Structure 1
């Protein structure tokens, strides 16, 4: 049963869980670990280096090494790993890194779960709204098909990599939108510009940006661990907004102007092919979460901005 936030989910109202988390060193991973421990759950971290604590287990996705004993007795597995899509220019080599850093570890987890006689019953697997490609003003629920483009192809293959485990465990593909957090993430580059008053719409600003706050995405993961939902889940707020509206709301929250648009050509010159994806439009809505009774702490962009500021 879910209450108002992760921090208030008291362990006395539910059974404690033992959760194995891979890809736990990023923004989402660290926040999820904190929330799991706050509600009393036990956490095992899959790490690629030598373990440094009793809660860490070593694996090596590059060589296909994952000891099934690392997953024995767990109630759930969460995999959030993958190379950052905006960290480097999209050369052919880095595109391969983006794809293989997602499909390789995911396939290894799927095959390991499938090989176990009693695997953990739940697997939350990262994906992204990039699955939908550039879809304009079309409202996108979880039954919408994949779009075109590099990121859509990556997400489609990423989700397909879970298939070996789907007959044995409840698999949830987390199609996560743009995560808003004062600690970094998607706003790490934008917020300094907003504070300086030199931010503005990207391209014409009409593209829908499916956003969600860090607090809500973590709380949604906790909710999905405890629920019966399976398949793709849009991890986005119920009120997607256009890029120009989000930028304007952020600027207003920081009492700054937001009047300097960034032409799409400039994005492509500065960021290469990735820059072009910043003007893609995905009007994704969280139908699966809402149907399962999830309540957002920050359902509107004004709620999100108040929390960020």
Structure 2
């Protein structure tokens, strides 16, 4: 139902040949479905053996990517990277977070740069973590990087695409916020807690949390595939909200209160360094997307929560 609605309402595009890395995650799976429904041809880069006709193996850890895979492609989309909240941030796992992003991005960018006729577009995942903790400051794509581990990761992640940019390829960095979907992501952890009636805001709750529904996320990426927008692109809803406002909107959809805050110290004890990022404030707005004519389906958190959680 999600994809059908967007196919109907998205203007017709000339079919394109698109290569996607990181296609098995929440965003990648939905994006592949949408692009195919729109008539595009999609090939998926996968680690290990190919399991289907549309899958092509690569090994970014060893620097292996057959340049022939990219020949004829109009666009390449890279969504890969180890989950930042999947494990405790030990020194080893922080290296994994960084290397799983910079290495594959660098390999794709340098391979495309070596081609006589490279793809026209390279859409590279990034994150709003680029901005660090910025309080109530409104953050557009022209805002510089913040401080902290994730800001450093995002800065190096985006820089890894420089060879493609220098070769004349249109590179867009997808600075994505919290993706709301009933299929998984942050809501998979939040909703069960709220259903018990014991959930609430994280820390004080006044920190801004950039959010976007999965429907808008993949529609925006589809839009950017055929767009001329380059550079950073904030993938977040147009109406920023605080963590408290987001939590209450989700709680309303499961008909439970959201009044029991999780103390910041508890986040640090339970989640370590990652827990401190959950109280970072990023008041992000999608200036580049809206300037390019993209229309969000879910502009307010009430609409987003209703779509992602409501029945």
Give the TM-score normalised by structure 1. Answer: 0.97
Question: Aligned partners of 1:155, 1:46: CA distance in 2, in Å?
Answer: 22
The residue that corresponds to 1:76 in the other structure is 75
The residue that corresponds to 2:172 in the other structure is 172
| Paired residues for 1:46-65 under 5 Å | 46-65=45-64
Report the CA distance between 1:202 and its aligned residue: 0.3
Question: Aligned partners of 2:197, 2:18: CA distance in 1, in Å?
Answer: 43
Matched, 1:130 2:129: yes
Contact kept, 8 Å, 1:6 with 1:222, in 2: the verdict is: no
Report the CA distance between 1:188 and its aligned residue: 1.3
The residue that corresponds to 1:41 in the other structure is 40
The residue that corresponds to 1:268 in the other structure is 268
Question: Aligned partners of 1:295, 1:198: CA distance in 2, in Å?
Answer: 36
Question: Aligned partners of 1:9, 1:119: CA distance in 2, in Å?
Answer: 30
Contact kept, 8 Å, 1:137 with 1:283, in 2: the verdict is: yes
Question: Aligned partners of 2:227, 2:113: CA distance in 1, in Å?
Answer: 21
The unaligned stretches of length 5 or more in structure 1 are: none
Report the CA distance between 1:6 and its aligned residue: 3.0
Question: Aligned partners of 1:252, 1:63: CA distance in 2, in Å?
Answer: 48
Give the TM-score normalised by structure 2. Answer: 0.96
Contact kept, 8 Å, 1:171 with 1:231, in 2: the verdict is: yes
Contact kept, 8 Å, 1:203 with 1:264, in 2: the verdict is: yes
Structure 1 stretches (4+) deviating beyond 6 angstroms? none
Question: Aligned partners of 1:235, 1:10: CA distance in 2, in Å?
Answer: 18
The unaligned stretches of length 5 or more in structure 2 are: none
Report the CA distance between 1:14 and its aligned residue: 2.5
Secondary structure, counterpart of 2:188 in structure 1: coil
Report the CA distance between 1:195 and its aligned residue: 1.5
Secondary structure, counterpart of 2:173 in structure 1: strand
Secondary structure, counterpart of 1:172 in structure 2: strand
Report the CA distance between 1:289 and its aligned residue: 0.4
Question: Aligned partners of 1:188, 1:131: CA distance in 2, in Å?
Answer: 24
Question: Aligned partners of 1:254, 1:108: CA distance in 2, in Å?
Answer: 44
Per-residue CA deviations over 1:135-191 (Å, capped at 9, x if unaligned) read: 000000001000000000000000000001103210000000000001111111101
Report the CA distance between 1:10 and its aligned residue: 7.0
Secondary structure, counterpart of 1:78 in structure 2: strand
The residue that corresponds to 1:95 in the other structure is 94
Report the CA distance between 1:9 and its aligned residue: 5.6
Question: Aligned partners of 1:293, 1:262: CA distance in 2, in Å?
Answer: 39
Question: Aligned partners of 1:5, 1:233: CA distance in 2, in Å?
Answer: 24
Secondary structure, counterpart of 1:232 in structure 2: strand
The residue that corresponds to 1:288 in the other structure is 288
The residue that corresponds to 2:214 in the other structure is 214
Root-mean-square deviation (CA, aligned residues, Å) is 1.2
